[in-house]
Amino acid sequence: MVLEVDNIELNFKNKRILNGIYLRAETGKVTSILGSNGCGKSSLLNIIFGNLKPKYKLVRVDGKAVLKPLYKTGIIKYLPQYHFIPNGISIKTAFKLFGVDWKAFVKTFGAFEKYASYKVNKLSGGERRVIETYIILKSKSNITILDEPFSHIAPLYIETIKTLIKEEKKQKVMLISDHLYKHIIESSDAIYLLKNASTKAIKDLKELEDYRYLSEGQL
């Protein structure tokens, strides 16, 4: 599957947030979006999912334009920056609703076994993030969007999440964004930099320094 996003224009009041966006992501590859704070990364991901309506947008799946919000097609899962599972829901119910195997989860994240009957709001922010990330990664979908999957997560779990991303990309279009650029660079097959409201495809990591996303020698 190939996901293409084109011709997006988003303004907040008089401020231009996104303009002249082009992005291509395909099954088998992790496509990442890097950019400084407030550059519009999350807005772009929200637009792709269908949470945010821009002035213009063109989303194509396998070359065909999708006119309705992508989430209505049921082919996409989205991990936003905020906790998305409602407070009153038990962890096991959340797994059941998303069709994700709880036993397989516990096999990977043994420390969570005791939480099966807990409501999600009884967990710490980091633990909740691990569960939400796992659910989105393992749910049946063709496109997976992860907004800051490595933030607020313990280093040990980050490595596990990276392994899961690598496994899942074989059958999904994976689109991710995070400020922890080292993890992003390690996990990515294609990188876009969002700067001055538009995307720039990064062919050589050195360009991240040239575009002043990273300072000299930070790579």
Partner 1 sequence: MKHLLIFFHFYKTYIAWSFIITILLGFVDSHYISAVLTKLFLTIFAWYITNETSNKHKLTFYKNLGISIRTLFISMFVVDSVLTILIIFLFKI
What does the binding site for partner 1 look like in residue numbers (CB under 8 A)? 49-51, 69, 71-74, 77-78, 80, 82, 84-86, 88-89, 93, 96-98, 136, 139
Decide: 150 and 178 in contact? Cβ < 8 Å.
Answer: yes
| Residue (136 or 174) nearer to partner 1, CB | 136
Tokens at 64, concatenated: 């065909």
Shortest reach from residue 72's CB to partner 1, in Å? 6
| Residue (161 or 214) nearer to partner 1, CB | 161
Q: Are strands 143-147 and 173-177 parallel, antiparallel or unpaired?
A: parallel
| Residue (151 or 198) nearer to partner 1, CB | 151
Which amino acid is residue 197, in one-letter code?
A
What is the spatial distance between Cα 126 and Cα 142, in angstroms, rounded to a whole number? 26
| Residue (19 or 51) nearer to partner 1, CB | 51
Shortest reach from residue 83's CB to partner 1, in Å? 8
Q: Residues 6 or more apart from 134 whose CB is under 8 A from it?
A: 100, 105, 108, 109, 161, 164
Tokens at 201, concatenated: 């495809």
| Residue (122 or 212) nearer to partner 1, CB | 122
Shortest reach from residue 51's CB to partner 1, in Å? 7
Shortest reach from residue 76's CB to partner 1, in Å? 8
Shortest reach from residue 75's CB to partner 1, in Å? 9
3-class DSSP state of 178: coil
- Structure-derived torsion over alpha carbons of residues 24, 25, 29, 32, reported in degrees to the nearest 10: 80
